[in-house]
Amino acid sequence: MNWNEKYETLPREDLKELQLERLKQTIERSFHDVEHYKKVMQDKGMEPGDISSLDDLSKLPFTTKEDLRDNYPYGMFAVHLSEIVRIHSSSGTTGKPTVVGYTRNDLNTWAELMARSLACGGAGREDVIQNSYGYGLFTGGLGVHYGAERLGASVIPTSGGNTKRQIMIMKDYGTTVLTCTPSYALFMAEVMQEMGIDPKTDLKLKSGIFGAEPWSENMRKEIERKLDISAHDIYGLSEIIGPGVAIECEEKRGLHIFEDHFIPEIINPETGETLPIGEVGELVFTSLTKEALPMIRYRTRDISRLIEEECSCGRTHIRMERVSGRSDDMLIIRGVNVFPSQVESVLLDIGETEPHYKLIVDRIGTLDTLEIQVEVSEALFSDEVRRLEQLEEKIRKEIDTVLGISAKITLVEPKTIERSEGKAKRVFDKRKY
């Protein structure tokens, strides 16, 4: 279902005209109202009038998370604080948090984009949406909440945690759409099994909209099988607006980026060079309609590629491939680039383990080592030792073949790997640099 037919199916040429008009306005405001942007543009000998086509975007400097931290808390805002009606921020676990602000118009835009996203993911006015993203400084919970209300659906603001109660609510209130992280969806499925609840017969769930962490196609199949739903990937990040930047339609052949509000690029993460459509690299976004915090060529560190072929759903916006990992989360082990989602895909493809794992990276002398701890089912763990050894060897060979790296495989008992009610922590890097 299209929530906004006018813009979602806009012909490409008309869409580009709209983008250029909005880009020029964004650059003009950013230059005059944000000291950081004025300085970096002047350092490159540029002024707003130099932007006369969409191709000129590549001449502009990048914006990074460090820029937001260097201008903490409000230095990147383009409006006076009196016009800011909402403030969100990151956790700041690796330094100062990044602070994002919204004007009243920004919140309306965000709600509209999230209503569009939810509709794209199969939700409508008749649905009961259980929102299990965290509420608070994290943008996920409130973003989905206001989008669901704009859509006209019934929203249950459960937030994360208290899983058994969430499942009781899901059953009693007739939840039809679940929104949360994919790892939490799997945890819910596990708890349902413990509670003796069968999603096929006991629940009314029909779809799930999952994001905030990279997840593989195999994990999608696992979630769909265990919850008996259609699972959709949604993409967003606080610096750009929050969730609602892109989402999969029912075709699930890439996430539609809402290009009337954002211009995507793919760059080489090492050189910053803009790559042709279809090549894999780092996602970069420029916002076109944000008032409080315009973002020009923001480096997301997310790895993806753009897809320009037409989608049979009728939406004309370009699509992005699901995020395979982050350039700053990528592990380099003995010269090999490894993303957690690659390991996840191999494990789920084998299909004899549980979808819970840890990657432990260490260094012995000058040699990097990788250990993959993965849970097995109760029945398999209590099976004969020989069968477990065969499974370990099977996983080891597959990891070596697919990733090109040798790893120690450790099968662990059920429920021994910590579960997450938000973003799952998969990587534990013990190396000293």
Per-domain residue ranges of the chain: 1-254, 331-429
The pLDDT of 154-161, averaged and rounded, is: 95
Helix (H, G, I), strand (E, B) or coil at 271: coil
Nearest to 341 by CA among 220, 257, 199: 220
Q: Which tokens go with 301? A: 């560190």
pLDDT score for 212: 86
Nearest to 285 by CA among 306, 270, 271, 314: 306
User: Which helix (H) or strand (E) element contains residue 359?
Assistant: strand 357-364
Q: Does the pLDDT value for residue 285 go beyond 60?
A: yes
Q: Does the pLDDT value for residue 305 go beyond 80?
A: yes
User: What 8-state DSSP symbol labels residue 410?
Assistant: E
pLDDT score for 215: 84
Nearest to 88 by CA among 106, 112, 62, 64: 106
User: What 8-state DSSP symbol labels residue 274?
Assistant: B
Nearest to 344 by CA among 160, 186, 180, 132: 186
Range with the lowest mean pLDDT among 212-216, 352-356, 408-412, 421-425? 421-425
Residue-wise pLDDT for 333-361, tens only, equals: 876 778 788 888 889 888 888 888 999 99
Q: Does the pLDDT value for residue 201 go beyond 90?
A: yes
Q: Does the pLDDT value for residue 94 go beyond 70?
A: no
**Cα–Cα separations (whole angstroms), residue 304 to 198, 282, 283:** 35, 6, 6
The pLDDT of 141-161, averaged and rounded, is: 96
- Interaxial angle between packed helices 217-227 and 182-195, expressed in degrees from 0 to 180 and rounded to the nearest 10: 30
Burial class (CB in 10 A: 0-12, 13-18, 19+), 381: middle
- According to CATH, the superfamily of the domain at 1-254 is ANL, N-terminal domain (3.40.50.12780)
User: Which helix (H) or strand (E) element contains residue 269?
Assistant: none
The pLDDT of 208-233, averaged and rounded, is: 93
* DSSP E strand boundaries for 79-153: 86-89, 99-102, 128-131
pLDDT score for 2: 76
Q: Which tokens go with 97? A: 């948090």
Residue-wise pLDDT for 178-188, tens only, equals: 999 888 999 89
User: Which helix (H) or strand (E) element contains residue 44?
Assistant: none
Q: Does the pLDDT value for residue 199 go beyond 70?
A: yes
Nearest to 330 by CA among 269, 278, 254: 269
DSSP string of 160-195, one letter each residue: S--HHHHHHHHHHTT--EEEE-HHHHHHHHHHHHHH
Q: Residue 152 and residue 243: Cα distance in Å, rounded?
A: 18
pLDDT score for 216: 84
Provide CATH code, domain 331-429: 3.30.300.30
Q: Evaluate the CA torsion angle 287, 293, 297, 303 in order and state its sign.
A: negative
Q: Does the pLDDT value for residue 433 go beyond 70?
A: no
The percentage of residues in the chain with a pLDDT greater than 70, rounded to a whole number, is: 97
Residue 319 banded pLDDT, cuts 50, 70, 90: very high
b/e 46-64 (16+ beta carbons within 10 angstroms → b) = bebeebeeeeebeebbebe
- As a whole number, the mean pLDDT across the chain is 92
Helix (H, G, I), strand (E, B) or coil at 156: strand
Enumerate residues 6+ apart whose C-beta is below 8 A from 168: none
Residue 330 banded pLDDT, cuts 50, 70, 90: confident
234, 210 contact by CB (below 8 A): yes
Look at strands 281-287 and 262-267 and give their pairing: antiparallel
Q: Which tokens go with 33? A: 């109202």
pLDDT score for 92: 56
Stated pTM of the model: 0.82
Residue-wise pLDDT for 369-396, tens only, equals: 899 999 987 777 776 778 888 999 999 9
pLDDT score for 93: 47
pLDDT score for 359: 93
b/e 139-161 (16+ beta carbons within 10 angstroms → b) = bbbbbbbbbbebbebbbbebbbe
The pLDDT of 82-86, averaged and rounded, is: 98
b/e 213-227 (16+ beta carbons within 10 angstroms → b) = bbbbebbbebbeebb
Range with the lowest mean pLDDT among 108-122, 203-217, 331-345? 331-345
The pLDDT of 19-45, averaged and rounded, is: 98
Range with the lowest mean pLDDT among 43-47, 64-68, 95-99? 95-99
Q: Which has more confidence, 432 or 317?
A: 317
186, 223 contact by CB (below 8 A): yes
